[in-house]
């Protein structure tokens, strides 16, 4: 069993009590009654942004930051100019929760990504019900039919869908779906290794119209520049922001680095 397989198994197990407490019909109704989606797309040509992540821990690094007040952290991200904020809601490996998503939603008005291992219709409605504007679908965690079904559902709900790939075949699956937003994860979710060099060749295989997100491995502004140089429109950054001690300034610095790189290619 790969790391990804183990995480998804845990996610499915943890989903059971939530489905019992709030049945599918009720979570659908809550999603339909949620405040309007805050759009991430479309983005202006030549712009660059940071998706700043509220992330307590990870399977590869363990505990990263206590984050006693996720709303305060998200507010710092927003003040730094974050294009969106990602909130981890997976509990076992990342220490997140839907309560974190609720707290962040109440504090900021920027688009929110529910960062989790979404494998069921229930989770998509659940994300919208808790105020998420973007949902993550990981190609490696889904069959072709599941990916298409969940992407269609989230789109019907008005959400942006970050379709995450980390191999050429997964990029091809995202392209076949005509996904407007594609994330290229430089972390292999099966063994957790990170290689920033994975981004450029996979980005080159993406449809020209897709908005590209560079994911994982960012430690400083130089890494953001490398993503932007290779075609990224956004970079998703977690660890460097929650451990660096200056989240607002770091978001602003990383955004500026990405924009400068994009401008240099015009």
Supply the residues annotated as catalytic.
53, 55, 115, 164, 185, 215-216
Q: Are 94 and 117 in contact (CB under 8 A)?
A: no
8 Å CB contact between 237 and 49: no
* DSSP 3-state percent helix, strand, coil across the chain (nearest 5): 45, 15, 35
Can you tell me the distance from the alpha carbon of 189 to that of 4, in angstroms, rounded to the nearest whole number?
Answer: 6
**C-alpha to C-alpha distance for 66 and 140, rounded to whole angstroms:** 29
CA dihedral of residues 14, 116, 190, 193 (deg, nearest 10): -130
The vertex-66 CA angle with 194 and 8, nearest 5°, equals: 50
Q: Which helix (H) or strand (E) holds 79?
A: helix 70-79
Neighbour-count burial of 130, counting CB atoms closer than 10 A to its CB (0-12 exposed, 13-18 middle, 19+ buried): buried
The tokens for 122 are 């229930």
| Distance between CA atoms of residues 55 and 48, nearest Å | 22
From the CB of residue 177, how many other CB atoms can be counted at a distance below 10 Å?
A: 18
């Amino acid at each position: 069993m790969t790391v990804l397989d183990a995480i998804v198994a845990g996610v499915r197990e943890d989903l059971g009590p939530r489905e019992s407490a709030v049945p599918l019909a009720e979570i659908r109704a809550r999603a339909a009654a949620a405040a309007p989606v805050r759009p991430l797309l479309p983005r202006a040509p030549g712009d660059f942004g940071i998706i700043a992540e509220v992330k307590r821990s990870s399977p590869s690094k363990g505990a990263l930051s206590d984050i006693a007040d996720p709303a305060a952290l998200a507010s710092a991200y927003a003040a730094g100019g974050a294009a969106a904020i990602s909130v981890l809601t997976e509990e076992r490996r990342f220490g997140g929760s839907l309560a974190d998503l609720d707290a962040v939603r109440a504090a900021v008005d920027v688009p929110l990504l529910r960062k989790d291992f979404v494998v069921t219709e229930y989770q998509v409605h659940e994300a919208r019900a808790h105020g998420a504007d973007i949902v993550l679908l990981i190609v490696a965690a889904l069959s072709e039919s599941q990916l298409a079904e969940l992407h269609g559902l989230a789109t019907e709900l008005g959400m942006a869908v970050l379709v995450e790939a980390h191999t050429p075949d997964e990029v091809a699956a995202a392209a076949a779906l005509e996904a407007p937003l594609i994330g290229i994860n430089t972390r292999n979710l099966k063994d957790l290794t990170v290689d920033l060099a994975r981004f450029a060749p996979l980005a080159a295989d993406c449809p020209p119209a897709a908005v590209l997100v560079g994911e994982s491995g960012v430690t400083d502004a130089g890494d953001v520049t490398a993503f932007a140089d290779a075609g990224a429109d956004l970079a998703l950054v977690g660890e460097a922001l929650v451990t660096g001690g200056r989240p607002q300034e770091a978001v602003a610095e990383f955004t500026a680095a990405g924009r400068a790189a994009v401008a240099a290619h015009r």
